[in-house]
Structure 1
Amino acid sequence: MDYYIDIRLLPDPEFPAAMLMGALFSKLHRALVDLRATDLGVSFPEHRNGHKKSLGQVLRLHGSAAALDHLMATGWLKGMRDHISASDMAEVPADTRYLVVCRRQFKTSAERLRRRRARRHGETLEQAREHIPDSVERKVDLPFATIRSLSTRQTFHLFVEHGDIRQDPVAGRFNAYGLSDEATVPWF
Structure 2
Amino acid sequence: MDHYLDIRLRPDPDFVAIDLLSALVSKLHRALARLADGKVGISFPDSKAMYLGDRLRLHGGLSSLQSLMGSDWLKGMRDHVQLSEPVAVPVGAKHRVVKRVQAKSSPERLRRRQIKRHGMTPQQAQEKVPDSAAETLSLPYLLLRSASTGQRFPLFVEHGPLLEAAVPGSFSSYGLSDVATVPWF
State the TM-score, normalized to the length of structure 2: 0.90
2:171 corresponds to which letter in structure 1? F
Cα separation, 1, equivalents of 2:114 and 2:42:
38
2:171 pairs with one of 171, 174, 180: 174
Shift of 1:117: 5.6
Root-mean-square deviation (CA, aligned residues, Å) is 2.0
Shift of 1:132: 2.5
2:81 corresponds to which letter in structure 1? I
1:2 corresponds to which letter in structure 2? D
8 Å contact from structure 2 (residues 43, 182) kept in 1: yes
1:16 corresponds to which letter in structure 2? V
Quick one: structure 1 residues 164 and 118, their matched pair in 2 at CA, closer, same or farther if it must change by over 3 Å?
Answer: closer
Q: Which residue of 1 aligns with 2:46?
A: 46
8 Å contact from structure 2 (residues 96, 163) kept in 1: yes
Q: Which ranges in structure 1 are unaligned for 5 or more consecutive residues?
A: none
Q: Which residue of 2 aligns with 1:95?
A: 92
Shift of 1:75: 1.3
Runs (4 or more) in structure 1 with deviation over 6 Å come to: 121-124
Map 1:87-166 to 2 at 5 A: 87-111=84-108, 113=110, 116=112, 129-166=126-163
Quick one: structure 1 residues 64 and 111, their matched pair in 2 at CA, closer, same or farther if it must change by over 3 Å?
Answer: same
Q: Which ranges in structure 2 are unaligned for 5 or more consecutive residues?
A: none
Quick one: structure 1 residues 132 and 174, their matched pair in 2 at CA, closer, same or farther if it must change by over 3 Å?
Answer: same
Deviations 1:109-129 (A, max 9, x none): 335545x469957977x8864
Quick one: structure 1 residues 113 and 94, their matched pair in 2 at CA, closer, same or farther if it must change by over 3 Å?
Answer: same
Cα separation, 2, equivalents of 1:73 and 1:85:
16
State the TM-score, normalized to the length of structure 1: 0.88
Total equivalences in the alignment: 183
8 Å contact from structure 1 (residues 117, 123) kept in 2: no
Pair 1:35-2:32 in alignment? no
Cα separation, 2, equivalents of 1:41 and 1:68:
10
Map 1:11-30 to 2 at 5 A: 11-30=11-30
